[in-house]
Each structure stands twice: as C-alpha cells, then as structure tokens.
C-alpha cells in the first residue's frame, strides 16, 4: 500500500505562523526578561524555555516508547497508523537537541550573584544536603547523562523508522526485519527504563527542587508525558483522517487510542495521588514543603486545575464506550490532556525558582505556541516524506480487520 | 418459567453453522439459543444479540461502593467514634481514598459477577435443560422455539436442508430452575 500525505498550504502556513509567534515571544523575552536587571525576570526567561523544551522532548520520546512496547507485544491495532509515532519519533533529535541546548545553557551560563536560581546544586556553597548529593548532582554528570540520553533516544527514533521503511521494500512474506524490530524494541525498553523511567526526570525536573526528593517521581513524569504523547498521536491520526488519508483507520482504531487516553489518565492520577498521599500522611516538614507551596501557596489554583483537567474530565468524559469512538470527543479530550499535562509540568518546575512570582502570560503561552508550531511543522515534514501506511508488515491484515 | 417445544439441530462445523443461523433467522423461525463447545467469534452478531448492558450495571455497582465507603467512613470518623490520628482533621479525605478505591472495585467486581451469572442463567445449585449432551464436547447445537401452529415435519426438513446432521423435537423447560434434578423428574415426583 502506498498512500502519500501532502502538506496542505494551510497546515504549513499555520505551523509557520505559530513558529513566528514563538520566535517573537523568544526575542521579546530576550530583551524584556533576559536583559532585565530583575532576577525573577531573568529566571523566568530560562525556566519557561526549560519547561517547554523538556515537555516536548518527553512527549516525543513517548512515541518511541509506544512503538517499542507494541512491537514487543505484537500489537496489531497500531500498525494502521504506525507511521505517525514513527514520524514523531524521528524528530527526537530536534526536540531532544533543543532540550540539551537549553538545559546545558542553564547549567553552565546562567547564574546570578554566584548561584544558579534554577539548579541550586550547580553551586552547593556548603549546603549540607546539596554537598551530600554532589556525587550525582554535578555539571559533569548532568551533561553526560543528558547528552547520552538524548543521543540514544534520537538513535532509536531513527532506527524504528528505518526498519519500518526497509520493511516496505522487503520481499513479500519475509519476517526477518519484523523480528529484528522486536530485538531493537527490547533494547530500547532497557534504555528507556534507565533514562525516562529513572534518571532523566531526576536530573531535568526533580533537581530543580534539589533539597526535596520523591522515589516515585520518574514514574509520575513518565505517566504524564506518555498520556500527552498518546494524545499527540491521536490528534495527528484524526487530522490525517480528516484530510482523507489513512483510509484503513476506522472507529475501532480510534477506540483503542481513546482507551489509552482514558487508562493512562487514571494511571497518572494513581501515581500523582500515591506521591501526594504518602507525603501528606507522614507530614515530615522537609517533604511537605513541596506541596505546601503548590497546594496551599500561590500555586493552589494550578494544583487543583491540574487535578480536574487531568483526572475528573477524562474519567467522566472518556468512560463511556461511545465517547471513545466519537471523533469530536477524542479530539477535544486529546487537546485538553496535552494542555493539562503541560500545566502539570508547569507546576512541577515553576515553584522552585520563581516562588510566588509566577506568570502564565504572553511569554509562557508564546513559547508554548512556538513549540506547537515547530512540532506540527517537523512532524508533517516527516509524515510527507514516505508512505503513510506500512506495507509488508505481517500484522497489516490484522490491523485492517481489527475490532476493538 | 415455561415448558416449551423446541426443534433442535446439531452441526459439526462452524462453516455450516453460520449460514444455517442466517437461514433460520431469515425464514422467520424464533431462534432460542445456540450452544457451542467453545466461544465462537462473530456468533453474537450472527445471532443478532444486542450489546450487553453489563458495564452499565458495573458502573452503578462501582458508584454504590464509592458512596458506601465515603459515607460510612465519614460517619464513623466524624460522628460515631472520632479519633485523633496524628493531628489530622477528623474528615481526612486523602486517607479515605485507598479504602474508597478498594470498595469501589470490590462492589463492581462482585456485583458484575453475580449479574453475569444471572444474565447467563448459571449459578451453583441451579439447573438448565441440556439439549444435546455433546454440546460441551464437539457439537454446535441450535435450538428453535416452536409454537402450536408450527409444523414439526416442516421445521425438521428445513433444518436438515441447512446441513444439520441430527435433528429432533424436544419439550423442555426454557428457563433455569433450582435443584440438581431434571425438570421432568420433578414433574413426575409431584
């Protein structure tokens, strides 16, 4: 099967306009915030870039993860639109690269009066707790982990796509590449569990609150990024379907993606609550400071909005079978979920450096818009490069007759 | 609970069974049920069964469990026997959540199992008429409900023509009943 996706002028212009908004926000931020004398403004400039670049890098790697997981489980349902997560994963180098540049700039170039307002551990300055964590939390370790992680993710992002494209050209009925793909998937899951499931969120997100720690944090981050990654895939599939592409995709496949949105929203809540309840119950001051500022402090509105958007809404709206099979409901919920988890990362990252001086204004929204534009632009380029439907995949027939 | 007359046809093969069910439904006979030794994909659609409402029952049981747990714990810890646990407020919702969750699952699970048994008329200690002893072994059994006006010979000939290798007419109880004995014996005893 060969089915080409052509980027419509409307899509390209929209994405370029969104990128332009992002660039304007960045330049305006550079002059208004970065070059300002106010310490809060300077911090805001960097933390917003960190928030968005980390969020989009994690959303992108979620696509590679679902490819690996379904390859190993021999899931037939995803093969109908496998090219979408492949195209997202192939852009790992871009979003990972942006994250590396932003993170390393913050570690090496950002300091105010000899200390780093975002990553306090860069200059421990005799702080007993930070000195104790120095073996792990130091610029060298951070750089090594970040660069190796993003390099591996990008490699596997390219690899899955390359295998899938090679399968298209392979002789009919040959399963050699299919089983090779499973081996690569198994290898990626090992990499994934050592990065996204553990070290990456520690370094990129949790070390912003370097005095505090939670053993559940990486799982919680994984759930958050995974459900928004599935929402991104959903949005692309519905968009392509709307454009008249992806003819073999029908409500059964949409239903499966909808189940993922529903189930992993609940999973996210499970982890979110597990982390919260233990800290609330034990009531140890060094742990409760984390939730004091978020729940009862200046962030309480975002804290509760986060819970309502990411749990109450999905569980009520997506629970019924018909709503998971309705294109409008799933599109609407996918957009809500992406925004909700963007907000979730917002409330993880902002309180540490900014405290009460947080904003959800032109700069935050502008940079987010720019990243959305870049995401649409880059992924649509990758989608248009090759056929939208895989051929010669042993599970192709299974996916066409799939019933959810 | 009613004694009814059934025409029973046995088939060897799924490939014969599906066209036969189509023919039975198209010719206007009332399909009572189809018994198969194993779950057959697509049989529900072929028989024209409607989507089950079991999940709606499950939702109601779950909500019942949630409100039971929250209501009961709130009553105990605020009204009946308030205890101070580590200085927490008497009404501590986060502490109730795990138990609420468990009770929701318990109510939904137990309720749905019992509802499932009721809908399928299976339960320890109840009995249902068996149309053919080999329906749990290697035979697909189709039972058609007959009225007084139906000609038995005509039905049996029709079933033969759909590829049945064994046909007969049985008078039997259509629903389940309590007891381990056949209904016929029960009538003879009374």
Question: Could you give the ipTM of this predicted complex?
Answer: 0.80
Listed by number, the residues of chain B in 45-84 with a beta carbon closer than 8 Å to a beta carbon of chain A are 55, 59
- Tell me, yes or no, whether B62 and B97 share the same domain: yes
DSSP state of B163: T
Q: Buried (b) or exposed (e) across B75-100, using 16+ Cβ within 10 A?
A: eebeeeeeeeeeeeeeebeebbeeeb
Inform me whether the pLDDT recorded for A175 exceeds 70: yes
| Arithmetic mean of pLDDT, A49-69 | 96
Query: What pLDDT, on the 0 to 100 scale, is given for residue B127?
Result: 84
Mean pLDDT over residues B43-61, rounded? 90
| Contact assignment for A276 to B97 by CB distance below 8 Å | no
| Interface mutation vs chain B, best among A252, A274, A281, A304, most B CBs within 10 Å | A281
pLDDT score of A35: 86
> Quick one: pLDDT at residue B185?
57
CA distance B12 to chain A (A): 26
Share of chain B above pLDDT 90, in %: 52
Q: Please state, in angstroms and rounded to a whole number, the distance separating the CA atoms of residues A19 and B9.
A: 69
Exposure of A118 in the CB half-sphere (CA atoms within 13 A): 27
> Is residue B42 domain-shared with residue B136, that is, in the same domain?
yes
Name every chain B residue with its beta carbon within 8 A of the beta carbon of A277: 94-95, 97-98
Taking the CA of residue A178 and the nearest CA in chain B, the distance in Å comes to 28
Which chain A residue has its CA at the smallest distance from B51's CA? A321
Q: Do B59 and A321 touch (CB under 8 A)?
A: no
Average pLDDT over residues B122-130: 85
Instruction: Find the helix or strand (DSSP H, E) in which B141 lies.
Output: strand B140-146
Q: In this predicted structure, what is the pLDDT of residue A303? A: 95
Residues B44 and B61 in one domain: no
**Same-domain check for residues B84 and B43:** no
* DSSP code at position A115: B
Per-residue model confidence (pLDDT) at position B123: 87
Q: Does B89 touch chain A (CB under 8 A)?
A: no
Q: How close is the nearest chain B Cα to the Cα of A376, in Å?
A: 38
Q: Which of A266, A267, A274, A280 to mutate to test the interface with B (most CBs of B within 10 A)?
A: A280
The answer to whether A280 faces chain B, any CB pair under 8 Å, is yes
- For A139-168, what is each residue's pLDDT tens digit? 999 999 999 999 999 999 999 999 999 998
What does the pLDDT average to over A7-31? 95
Which residue shows structure tokens 């590396």?
A100
Mean pLDDT, residues B40-67: 91
pLDDT cut 70: percent of chain A above it: 100
pLDDT digits (tens, 9 = 90+) for A319-353: 998 999 999 999 999 999 999 999 999 999 999 99
Whether chain A has a CB inside 8 Å of the CB on B160: the answer is: no
Q: How far is CA B79 from the centre of its chain?
A: 43
Record: contact A273-B97, CB cut-off 8 A: yes
Q: CA angle, A287 as apex, A216 and A300 as ends, to 5°? A: 90
For the segment A83-96, what is each residue's pLDDT rounded down to a tens digit? Answer: 999 999 999 999 99
Q: According to the model, what pLDDT value does residue A276 have? A: 94
Residue B41 and residue B77 share a domain = no
Say if residue A181's pLDDT is above 70.
yes
B86/A283 Cβ within 8 A: yes
What's the whole-number mean pLDDT along residues B104-133? Answer: 91
**CATH code at position B13:** 3.30.70
pLDDT of amino acid A84: 95
Q: CA A221, A123, A148: angle at the middle one, nearest 5?
A: 45
Number of domains chain B contains: 2
Q: Is A332 or B128 the better-scoring residue by pLDDT?
A: A332
List pLDDT tens digits, range A361-394: 999 999 999 999 999 999 999 999 999 998 888 8
Whether residues B131 and B184 share a domain: the answer is yes
Alpha carbon A360 to chain centroid distance? 20
Nearest residue to B9 via CA among B176, B115, B166, B116:
B166
Centroid of chain to Cα A69: 17
Q: For position A3, what pLDDT does the model report?
A: 82
Of A107, A100, A91, A252, the closest CA to residue A156 belongs to A91
- Number of Cβ within 10 Å of residue A384's Cβ equals 15
- For A273, the token pair is 């609550």
For position B174, what pLDDT does the model report?
Answer: 83
Which chain A residue lies closest to B93 (C-alpha atoms)?
A277
Distance CA B76, CA B95 (A): 14
Residue B85 pLDDT grade (very low, low, confident, very high; cuts 50, 70, 90): confident
Q: Name the helix (H) or strand (E) containing B34.
A: strand B30-35
Task: From B67, B89, B120, give the residue that closes a domain.
Answer: B120
Model pLDDT, residue A189: 96
| Contact assignment for B94 to A319 by CB distance below 8 Å | no
**B88: closest CA of chain A, how far (Å):** 8
Residue A319 near chain B (CB below 8 Å)? yes
Q: What is the chain B residue with the closest CA to A281? A: B95
Give the pLDDT band of residue B51 (cuts 50, 70, 90). confident
Final residue of a domain: which of B120, B138, B171?
B120
pLDDT of B187 above 80: no
In this complex, do B55 and A321 lie within 8 Å of one another by their Cβ atoms? yes
Contact by Cβ (8 Å): A120, A130: yes
B46 in the same domain as B132? yes
Whether the pLDDT of residue B186 is over 60: the answer is no
Among residues A228, A185, A167, the alpha carbon closest in space to that of A74 is found at A185
> Across residues B42-48, what is the average pLDDT?
89
A286 pLDDT above the threshold of 60: yes
Q: Which of A16-20, A234-238, B145-149 has the lowest mean pLDDT?
A: B145-149
Range of the domain at B83: 54-120
Domain check: are B114 and B157 in the same one?
no
Whole-prediction pTM: 0.90
What pLDDT shows up at residue B190?
46
pLDDT at B184 (0 to 100): 61
Q: Please report residues of A whose CB lies closer than 8 A to that of B86.
A: 281, 283
Same domain, B82 and B116: yes
- CB nearest A277 (choices: B55, B87, B97): B97
Tell me what percent of the residues of chain B surpass a pLDDT of 70: 94
Please say if the pLDDT value at position B147 is more than 90: no
Mark whether B108 and B153 lie in a shared domain: no
pLDDT at B72 over 80: yes
Average model confidence (pLDDT) across chain A: 93
- The whole-number average pLDDT for the span A286-312 is 93
Mean pLDDT across the stretch B142-169? 90
- B45 and B132 housed in the same domain: yes
C-alpha B163/C-alpha A197 separation (Å) is 59
Domain boundary among B120, B148, B167: B120
**Residue from A259, A267, A273, A278 whose CB has the most chain B CBs within 10 Å, to mutate:** A273
């Amino acid at each position: 099967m060969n089915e080409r996706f052509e980027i419509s002028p409307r899509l390209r212009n929209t994405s370029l306009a969104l990128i332009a908004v992002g660039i304007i926000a960045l330049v305006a931020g550079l002059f208004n915030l970065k070059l300002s004398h106010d310490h809060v403004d300077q911090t805001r400039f960097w933390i917003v870039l960190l928030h968005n670049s980390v969020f989009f890098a994690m959303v992108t790697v979620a696509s590679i993860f679902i490819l690996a997981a379904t390859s190993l489980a021999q899931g037939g349902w995803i093969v109908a639109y496998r090219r979408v997560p492949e195209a997202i994963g192939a852009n790992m180098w871009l979003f990972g690269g942006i994250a590396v540049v932003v993170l390393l700039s913050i570690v090496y170039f950002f300091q105010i009066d000899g200390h780093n307002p975002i990553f306090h551990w860069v200059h421990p300055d005799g702080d007993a707790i930070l000195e104790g964590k120095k073996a792990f939390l130091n610029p060298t370790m951070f750089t090594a982990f970040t660069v190796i992680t993003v390099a591996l993710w990008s490699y596997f992002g390219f690899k899955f796509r390359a295998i899938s494209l090679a399968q298209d050209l392979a002789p009919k009925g040959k399963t050699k590449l299919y089983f090779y793909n499973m081996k690569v998937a198994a290898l990626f899951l090992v990499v994934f569990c050592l990065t996204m499931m553990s070290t990456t969120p520690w370094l990129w997100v949790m070390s912003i609150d370097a005095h505090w720690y939670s053993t559940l944090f990486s799982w919680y981050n994984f759930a958050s990024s995974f459900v928004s990654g599935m929402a991104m895939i959903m949005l692309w599939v519905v968009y392509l379907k709307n454009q008249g592409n992806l003819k073999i995709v029908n409500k059964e496949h949409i239903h499966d993606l909808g189940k993922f949105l529903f189930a992993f929203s609940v999973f996210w809540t499970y982890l979110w609550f597990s982390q919260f309840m233990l800290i609330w119950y034990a009531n140890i001051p060094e742990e409760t400071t984390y939730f004091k500022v978020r729940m009862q402090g200046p962030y309480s509105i975002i804290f509760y909005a986060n819970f309502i958007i990411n749990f109450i809404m999905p569980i009520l709206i997506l629970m019924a079978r018909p709503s998971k099979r309705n294109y409008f409901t799933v599109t609407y919920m996918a957009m809500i979920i992406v925004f909700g988890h963007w907000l979730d990362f917002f409330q993880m990252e902002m309180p540490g450096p900014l405290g009460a001086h947080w904003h959800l204004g032109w700069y935050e929204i502008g940079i987010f818009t720019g990243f959305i534009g870049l995401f649409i632009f880059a992924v649509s380029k990758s989608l248009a490069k090759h056929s939208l439907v895989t051929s010669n995949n042993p599970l192709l027939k299974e996916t066409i007759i799939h019933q959810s | 609970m009613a004694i009814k007359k059934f025409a029973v046809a046995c088939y060897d093969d799924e490939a014969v069974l599906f066209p036969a069910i189509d023919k039975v439904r198209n010719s206007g006979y009332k399909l009572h049920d189809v018994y198969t030794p194993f779950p057959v994909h697509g049989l529900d659609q072929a028989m024209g069964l409607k989507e089950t409402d079991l999940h709606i029952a499950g939702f109601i049981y779950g909500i019942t469990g949630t409100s039971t747990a929250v209501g009961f714990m709130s009553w105990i810890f605020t009204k009946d026997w308030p205890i101070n646990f580590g200085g927490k407020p008497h009404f501590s919702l986060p502490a109730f959540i795990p138990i609420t969750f468990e009770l929701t699952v318990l109510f939904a699970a137990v309720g749905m199992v019992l509802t499932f048994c009721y809908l399928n008329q299976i339960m320890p200690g109840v009995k249902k008429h068996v149309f053919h002893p080999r329906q749990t072994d290697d035979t697909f059994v189709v039972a058609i409900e007959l009225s007084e006006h139906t000609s038995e010979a005509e039905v049996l000939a029709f079933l033969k023509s759909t590829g049945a290798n064994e046909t007969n007419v049985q008078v039997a109880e259509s629903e389940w009943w309590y007891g381990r004995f056949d209904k016929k014996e029960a009538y003879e005893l009374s």
